[in-house]
Structure 1
Amino acid sequence: MKKKEDIERIYQAALSAFSLHGYRKTTLEEVAGRLDMAPSNLYLYVKNKRELYHKTVIFALLRWQDRVAKDMEEQQSPEGKFLTMCRSAVFYLEKDEALRRLLILDPDIFPMFAEKDPYEYVNRASVALLTDMIKEGMASGRFRKVDPETTAEAIFSVYKMLIIRSYIKMEKKAGLLLFEQILDLITSGLFISKKAD
């Protein structure tokens, strides 16, 4: 196997273990056992359990991000890309049970406020993707003129609140109803357009 395949296999095994027991109770021996390797072999890839945990979380977050980007590629219009991005990002955790469980065990992975975000650079990339998509919609004349960076930050903040409420606090039904209402507000607005007198 190539090294990339090796490390992805290690991160997958670590994600499975950490999502069951959390950081404190998971041992390198358990992760190694899932891989049928000696624990000492893990040190060829990481310095310690803390680094394995950190890199495993990054692996899982990037996989989430990549899934959303791939789903967006299937759409042609800015509206289609935006709606697909929103739905894919929110509903991804329905399928990734290990990451969902890990977020419940360690909500600090996905905090509401950026100053406490240990994976801020990963989330910055998500905001950048959203910013670019808003700019594309504006350039095509399909989105109204807004400050794309500030708008992306606002939408991402709402998105984080929805993920926390739906999957971490486990208020899924209320959170997903809220998601549909917010999506409608973002795409249609609250005010009825004034007709010319």
Structure 2
Amino acid sequence: METDELKNLILDKAKERFDRFGFKKTTMDEISHDCKISKKTIYEHFKDKEDLFISLFIRESRQVRDLIFAGISHIPDPLERLIELIRSAIAYFRQDNFLTRLLKDDDALFSAFLTVKYHVILEEELISLIATIIAEGKAQGKLRNVDEKVVAYVGLKLFQSFSYMRTMPISPEKDEQGYYTDALIDFMLHGLVKKDEALPGQQ
């Protein structure tokens, strides 16, 4: 079995365990048993259970990121692409899936080892992708002359607060109608679009 294939097998089996029993209750012995390989073989690829968990989290996050960005790649207008990015990302994190369940698990997400790794490895990648769209809009004269990386960072944090890291009470009925998504999009667009540029849908 090739190295990447074996690593993905371990991650797949670990995903099943973490999803069903959580990080704390999952053991390397159980993952080893599920994979039908020795624990020593697992340690050849992952330093410990935390390293395995982080690797799984990063793999799953990148897969979701690639899926969402692939879905908006055909949209030529950067403003429309930003809007669809927000809508698609919020729609994804409203679903019941492994990554959403993981992100809503305070014990897993906010432990120190994951928070640091997530910020450094994943958030910087996302900020760079969002900043590229904003830079394109600036180059086309549709967006204000803002610092795209700073705005991308703020936009990402706002997105998190409107999706899996919500700290304010919400109305389920308004949420179903897309009220909060529209509020976020409206806020972002009015902060980015030049005053003489028509907002999408206002042409």
Shift of 1:141: 1.9
Which structure 1 residue ranges, 5 or more long, are not aligned?
A: none
| Alpha-carbon contact 1:109-1:118 (below 8 Å) kept | no
| Alpha-carbon contact 1:19-1:98 (below 8 Å) kept | yes
Deviations 1:37-67 (A, max 9, x none): 3333312211221211121111122222222
Which residue of 2 is the match for residue 69 of structure 1? 69
Which residue of 1 is the match for residue 184 of structure 2? 182
Provide the C-alpha distance between the structure 2 equivalents of 1:45 and 1:13, rounded to a whole number of angstroms. Answer: 14
Which structure 2 residue ranges, 5 or more long, are not aligned?
A: 197-203
Structure 1 32/88 Cα, relative in aligned 2: closer, same or farther at 3 Å?
farther
Deviating more after overlay: 49-58 vs 130-139: 49-58
| Alpha-carbon contact 2:102-2:108 (below 8 Å) kept | no
User: Which of structure 1's runs of 4+ aligned residues deviate more than 6 A?
Assistant: none
Matched residue type, 1:180: D
Provide the C-alpha distance between the structure 2 equivalents of 1:172 and 1:39, rounded to a whole number of angstroms. Answer: 47
| Alpha-carbon contact 2:11-2:56 (below 8 Å) kept | yes
Which residue of 2 is the match for residue 158 of structure 1? 158
Matched residue type, 1:49: K
2:35 is the alignment partner of 1:35 = yes
Matches within 5 A, 1:1-197: 1-94=1-94, 97-106=97-106, 109=109, 117-121=116-120, 122-165=122-165, 173=172, 177-188=179-190
The percent identity for this pair of structures is: 22
What TM-score does the superposition give when structure 1 sets the normalisation length?
A: 0.78
CA RMSD in angstroms comes to: 3.0
Shift of 1:169: 8.9
